[in-house]
């Protein structure tokens, strides 16, 4: 499988988790010991199960989630994708202010590193507006 094909598989798993709540889709792409390096206020998440719990918490704190993933580029064992999102901030989420009931929007870049056909490390950077 090409690295671009794997990136598309990653996007499909992310859509399953974000939109349908099927966090088990990460089993197909994440190494059990994957590390997701989130930007503050979210701490890094170590392990596939930690990543699943993070997405479960997002789905509890935000409703009407609309996302768009795009493949950007790849080289060697690395690929980059972007995420544009809009959602309503309705529930508590660690590190964020109290929910406002308003729509927030955001954009993030994900840089993913593969090893033996699974993602072992992800770095994320981006920004969100409308949290306060």
The string of pLDDT tens digits covering residues 45-95 is 899 999 999 999 999 999 999 999 999 999 999 999 999 999 999 999 888
pTM given for the model: 0.91
Q: What is the pLDDT of residue 42?
A: 75
- Distance CA(63)–CA(25), nearest Å, equals 20
Q: What is the pLDDT of residue 85?
A: 96
Q: What is the pLDDT of residue 40?
A: 74
Rg (CA), the chain: 14
The string of pLDDT tens digits covering residues 6-37 is 999 999 999 999 999 999 999 999 999 999 99
Q: What is the pLDDT of residue 53?
A: 93
For the chain, what is the domain count? 1
Assign residue 64 the CATH number of its domain.
Answer: 3.10.450.50
Q: At 102, is the pLDDT very low, low, confident or very high (cuts 50, 70, 90)? A: very high
| Residue range of the domain that includes 93 | 3-129
Can you give the chain as a three-state secondary structure string?
CCHHHHHHHHHHHHHHHHHHCCHHHHHHCEEEEEEEECCCCCCCEECHHHHHHHHHHHHHHEEEEEEEEEEEEEECCEEEEEEEEEEEECCCCCCCCCCCCCEEEEEEEEEEEEECCEEEEEEEEEEEECCC
Q: What is the pLDDT of residue 38?
A: 84
Q: What is the pLDDT of residue 131?
A: 81
């Amino acid at each position: 499988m090409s690295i671009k094909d794997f990136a598309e598989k990653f996007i499909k798993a992310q859509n399953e988790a974000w939109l349908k709540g099927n966090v088990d889709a990460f089993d197909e792409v994440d190494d059990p010991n994957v590390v997701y390096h989130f930007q503050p206020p979210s701490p890094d998440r170590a392990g596939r199960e930690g990543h699943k719990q993070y997405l479960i918490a997002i789905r509890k704190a935000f409703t009407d989630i609309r996302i768009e993933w795009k493949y950007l580029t790849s080289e060697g064992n690395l690929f980059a994708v972007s995420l544009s999102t809009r959602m309503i901030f309705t529930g508590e989420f660690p590190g964020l202010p109290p929910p406002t009931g308003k729509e927030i929007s955001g954009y993030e870049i994900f840089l993913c590193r593969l090893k033996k056909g699974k993602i072992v490390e992800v770095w994320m950077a981006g920004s969100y507006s409308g949290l306060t």
